[in-house]
Amino acid sequence: VIDAPGHRDFIKNMITGTSQADCAILIIAAGTGEFEAGISKDGQTREHALLAFTLGVRQLIVAVNKMDTTKWSEDRFNEIIKETSVFIKKVGYNPKAVAFVPISGWLGDNMLEESPNMSWYKGWQKETKAGVVKGKTLLDAIDAIEPPVRPSEKPLRLPLQDVYKIGGIGTVPVGRVETGIIKAGMVVTFAPTNVTTEVKSVEMHHEQLEQGNPGDNVGFNVK
């Protein structure tokens, strides 16, 4: 899970995180005035949806949060779905392929288990290549994400997120493997400077890896 901050001042952090994601969860505040501010011309909800699509995130879940502040209103939820569908369609998403889930993060409603406060909610459904998928909770929607095809037989492509200098170890670039594999002993080239060097070791979550595969967020030590 990549936490992408919603605050306007941290949009660059949001871009860094989103660029690595396979699916985005767009959190929308259901409160009166909050939703409207988010989808206004300069609203953060609109900007985040646009950035996610632009950065290649093709799967989307819309979680309508703070339903407790609307007294669990079905009308408010339907109003938000209608307006959100219009603007995500303009961005490039197909609303029929998006799960819309009403939740209360504060109280935990409909996050992991069905909520007794929203008995009117019959669940979400979305169209996928394999057919129509249905569910009730936010967790169901996360479980229904389709894993993207990641070709390990292609040449290595690893967009760098950051480069750390670690005492006693040296230079450690980090990023996510998109295609190909990375392992100790490989010779890699950094673009656009065309600097070539050898990989000494590869780690993920502080554990040594024999090789990093597509989808892995890795750090690797170079000579």
| 95-153 pLDDT per residue, tens | 999 999 999 999 999 999 999 999 999 999 999 988 999 999 999 999 999 988 878 89
In a domain, 212, yes or no: yes
In a domain, 211, yes or no: yes
> Over 90: is that where the pLDDT of 4 sits?
no
> Over 90: is that where the pLDDT of 5 sits?
no
Residues 155 and 119: their CA atoms lie apart, in Å, by 51
The answer to which of 7-21, 111-125, 171-185 has the lowest mean pLDDT is 7-21
Can you name the residues that pair with 221 across neighbouring β-strands? 201
> Over 90: is that where the pLDDT of 206 sits?
no
Domain that holds residue 22: 8-143
Strand duo 170-176 + 217-222: pairing: antiparallel
- 50 in the same domain as 137: yes
Write out the two tokens for 42: 């300069």
pTM over 0.85: no
- 82 in the same domain as 29: yes
- 176 in the same domain as 138: no
> Over 80: is that where the pLDDT of 8 sits?
no
pLDDT at 122: 96
- 203 in the same domain as 124: no
In a domain, 128, yes or no: yes
In a domain, 174, yes or no: yes
Q: Which of 143, 172, 196 is the last residue of a domain?
A: 143
Domain count, the chain: 2
